[in-house]
Chain A
Amino acid sequence: MKTDLPRRATLLLGSVALLVVAAGASMAVGARPVAVGEVWRALTDFAGTTDHHVVRDIRLPRTVLGVCVGTALGAAGMLIQTLTRNPLAEPGVLGVTAGAGFAINLGVLAGVTGSQAGQLGLAVAGAALAAIVVYAVGRVSPLRLVLAGVALGWVLTGVSLGLRLTFPDVFDRYRFWSVGALAGTEQTPLLLPVLVTVVALVAALATTGPLNALALGEDVAHALGAHVTRVRLAVLVLVTVLTGVATAVAGPIAFVGLMVPHLARRLAVDSIPWGMAYSMLLGPLLLLVADIGSRVLLPTGEVPVSIVTAFLGGPVLIWAVRRYGAGAR
């Protein structure tokens, strides 16, 4: 295992480099293309031109939020796939994202989402409730868990859509958010979501050790001194917090947490801590690439990024079902 270290470190550095390239592209590409050199000057030597303003005031915050949301979703996916030992698990597919989104919709309607902290709290509470319901209904098998999640997602998105169509004025401000997009998030205060995400990510990295033990089976984990129940609870809390924050910022975005861990595990070969690290890098990479795609795909405007991730994620779900779903009923 130790001999793998150079390879893993190289992969890690490669992922970081790719992420930096994607972030640069995310600040350059859009309705008003900005040359890469100009992006660099806007960040280091601000001169107040229109290009500089576009980069600093619109694309930079959007990129930062994209990285924040992508990291959160990637890490949440890795955590839940490892915990449930279910290669099909994912906060979006399991309806956790829909739960968070629905809670915010209700909050908007009741007029209690004035503060960003309140919105985050609501999202996390909604995510937790949805996770409990889906787990209770679908715990017997991996495929059933997916079905329960999809069913709950139907209910919640149906009711949310009904609410939005009924009270269009109330939800006008949440137009982009409600379909899962990074567009329109440029004005969001960055501090709180980034802070919460960073804390949750550090905690997620800390749980990888006990999770590694848990992956060997409950008995072994007990013997190795891990508190099985406590670890499980901690992981579930982290998943709901990460999903809640991501949803509160960008709306319901599915499939990122499904795609990323599969690739991360391939790169990490059996090591959960390394897999987690890769997930945290590949998540934002994927979301930034999808977000760039969402700006290019439509000549007249923008496609919500959740549509791009769904289109990319569908084949991965099919592949995972065919690869891991054999014999499962």
Chain B
Amino acid sequence: MSTLTLRVGSVVIEVERRTAVVSAVLVGLAAGLALLALCHGQDWATPAEVFTALTRGGESAFVIREWRLPRVAAALVFGASLGLAGAVFQNLTRNPLGSPDVIGLDAGAYTGALVAITLLNGTAGQLAAGSVAGGLLAAAVVYLLSLDSGLSGLRLVVVGIAVNAMLTALNCWIVLRAEIDVALAATGWNVGSLNGVDWAEIRLPFAVIGLFVLLLLVISQAVHQGALGDEIARTSGVRLGRLRLLMVLAGVGCTATVTAVAGPVVFIALAAPQIGRRLARAAGVPLVPAALTGAVLLLAADLVAQLLLAPVALPVGVVTTAIGGCYLIWLLSMEVKRR
């Protein structure tokens, strides 16, 4: 495959041409969707109005800058973050099903966030710390329970599904305990939603996600080596134990921070890495296409959630759950056919 070579001072980055093209197309797609999402709302704003509002202000500036822009930014950053988390875990488990939303890490992160809200004050910092701790704890439990069969294989996935069911039940209980209006909580719980996101809510999560992405950037070379197999990774000087620990930390951090703000949003972490991998025709599960695909997917799903039954805005989690299930069935039936 042909490669492009970028030189910035003494740093040389080699990128496969196809990956570069795919990434550029995905960025373009995300920009187009973002523009559409900024235009769409109670009143339709023309693209020209959106540009004026963003650059100079104007009559619709408040709506677009303070209401629509944070939602679009959240969808893009959270989607990318979920895509990255999925790619990290699918690399770790070498299994397209081993993504954090399927094996209960999102549910664990949500438990941590709920504990932070109900038992502590629920400040943004506590929320972030609680969700990461919850996600790590869930990861540790799933890992320990499937230790004797190794990380790969379906056993880990089914153990994760069981842990997911228990944690989801626990989350429902916490939500019901906290809510006075029990009936209302009973319908809407445990679905990720971007409804009503504002800047104040997402500033800290963005910073935290930035930190974890930085960590991933540092270890990304080793991650790609690790994806080629334990032996190859070892001979090229990768310390596997430490690498895996860092990967789990970064992956859980990326997915947990999103969950703390938006609730569990499934499917993005499951599908984005696989779609990105197919688009880029790469070995292993590459990180950059996964992140970009995730951003596009979550933004598109959020748009669908708003448009589908307008003026009722569905939680985006409803859309992603339904699509994610279809995708999972398709994935399984393809594997059955291959036999």
- Which interface residue of B182, B325, B336 has the most chain A CB atoms within 10 A? B325
As a 0/1 sequence over residues 299 to 326 of chain A, the CB contacts with chain B under 8 angstroms (1 = contact) are: 1111110011011011101100110011
Q: Pick the contact of B166 from A175, A302, A310 — CB < 8 Å?
A: A310
Of A118-126, A136-144, A188-196, A279-287, the one contacting chain B is A136-144
Closest Cβ of chain A to B194, distance in Å, is 15
Q: Pick the contact of B332 from A138, A155, A303, A307 — CB < 8 Å?
A: A138
17 residue pairs from A and B, CB less than 8 Å apart: A136-B333, A137-B332, A137-B333, A146-B158, A148-B332, A151-B325, A152-B325, A155-B321, A165-B188, A254-B165, A301-B182, A304-B172, A304-B186, A310-B165, A322-B149, A329-B153, A329-B154
Do the beta carbons of B336 and A313 come within 8 Å of each other? no
Do the beta carbons of B315 and A165 come within 8 Å of each other? yes
Closest Cβ of chain B to A221, distance in Å, is 26
Do the beta carbons of B314 and A151 come within 8 Å of each other? no
Q: Pick the contact of A155 from B153, B158, B191, B326 — CB < 8 Å?
A: B326
Given contacts A322-B145, A322-B155, A322-B159, 15 further A-B contacts (CB under 8 A): A140-B336, A140-B339, A143-B157, A151-B328, A154-B266, A156-B325, A157-B321, A158-B320, A159-B318, A298-B182, A314-B163, A315-B162, A318-B159, A318-B162, A322-B146
A279 to B172, CA, bound (A): 28
Give every chain B residue within 8 A of A138 (Cβ-Cβ).
332, 336
Q: Pick the contact of B173 from A299, A303, A326, A329 — CB < 8 Å?
A: A303
The total of interchain contacts (Cβ-Cβ below 8 angstroms) comes to 158
Main secondary structure of the interface of B (DSSP, over half): helix
The reply on B180 being an interface residue by CB < 8 A is: yes
* Contact flag A153-B163 (CB < 8 Å), given A137-B333, A166-B314: no
Closest Cβ of chain B to A244, distance in Å, is 21
Closest Cβ of chain A to B159, distance in Å, is 5
* Contact flag A310-B169 (CB < 8 Å), given A138-B336, A143-B155, A147-B157: yes
A141 to B322, CA, bound (A): 24
A156 to B322, CA, bound (A): 7
Give every chain A residue within 8 A of B183 (Cβ-Cβ).
175
Do the beta carbons of B154 and A143 come within 8 Å of each other? yes
A165 to B188, CA, bound (A): 7
A299 to B339, CA, bound (A): 53
Q: Pick the contact of B163 from A152, A298, A318, A326 — CB < 8 Å?
A: A318
A154 to B312, CA, bound (A): 22
The reply on B27 being an interface residue by CB < 8 A is: no
Do the beta carbons of A154 and B325 come within 8 Å of each other? yes
Chain A residues touching B, range: 35 or more
Q: Pick the contact of B165 from A158, A302, A308, A317 — CB < 8 Å?
A: A317
A313 to B336, CA, bound (A): 28
Which residue from chain A places its CB closest to the CB of B164 in the assembled complex?
Answer: A314
The reply on B161 being an interface residue by CB < 8 A is: yes
The reply on B122 being an interface residue by CB < 8 A is: no
A237 to B182, CA, bound (A): 37
A308 to B169, CA, bound (A): 7
Count residues of chain B with CB under 8 A from any CB of chain A.
50
The reply on A179 being an interface residue by CB < 8 A is: yes
The reply on B268 being an interface residue by CB < 8 A is: no
Closest Cβ of chain B to A195, distance in Å, is 30
Which residue from chain B places its CB closest to the CB of A144 in the assembled complex?
Answer: B332
The reply on B217 being an interface residue by CB < 8 A is: no
A311 to B339, CA, bound (A): 36
A138 to B97, CA, bound (A): 14
Give every chain B residue within 8 A of A314 (Cβ-Cβ).
162-163, 165-166, 169
- Which interface residue of B158, B183, B309, B326 has the most chain A CB atoms within 10 A? B158
Do the beta carbons of A154 and B322 come within 8 Å of each other? yes
5 nearest A-B residue pairs (beta carbon): A154-B325, A155-B325, A158-B321, A314-B166, A158-B322
Give every chain B residue within 8 A of A317 (Cβ-Cβ).
158, 161-162, 165
Do the beta carbons of A150 and B161 come within 8 Å of each other? yes
The reply on A161 being an interface residue by CB < 8 A is: yes
Do the beta carbons of A165 and B187 come within 8 Å of each other? yes
A165 to B173, CA, bound (A): 20
Give every chain B residue within 8 A of A152 (Cβ-Cβ).
325, 329
Do the beta carbons of B186 and A175 come within 8 Å of each other? yes
Which residue from chain A places its CB closest to the CB of B170 in the assembled complex?
Answer: A311
Which residue from chain A places its CB closest to the CB of B186 in the assembled complex?
Answer: A179
A317 to B163, CA, bound (A): 9
Do the beta carbons of A147 and B166 come within 8 Å of each other? no
The reply on A328 being an interface residue by CB < 8 A is: yes
The reply on B151 being an interface residue by CB < 8 A is: no
Do the beta carbons of A147 and B336 come within 8 Å of each other? no
The reply on B73 being an interface residue by CB < 8 A is: no
Do the beta carbons of B176 and A301 come within 8 Å of each other? yes
The reply on A265 being an interface residue by CB < 8 A is: no
The reply on A8 being an interface residue by CB < 8 A is: no
Do the beta carbons of A311 and B166 come within 8 Å of each other? yes
- Which interface residue of B312, B322, B326 has the most chain A CB atoms within 10 A? B322
- Which interface residue of A137, A299, A328, A329 has the most chain B CB atoms within 10 A? A137
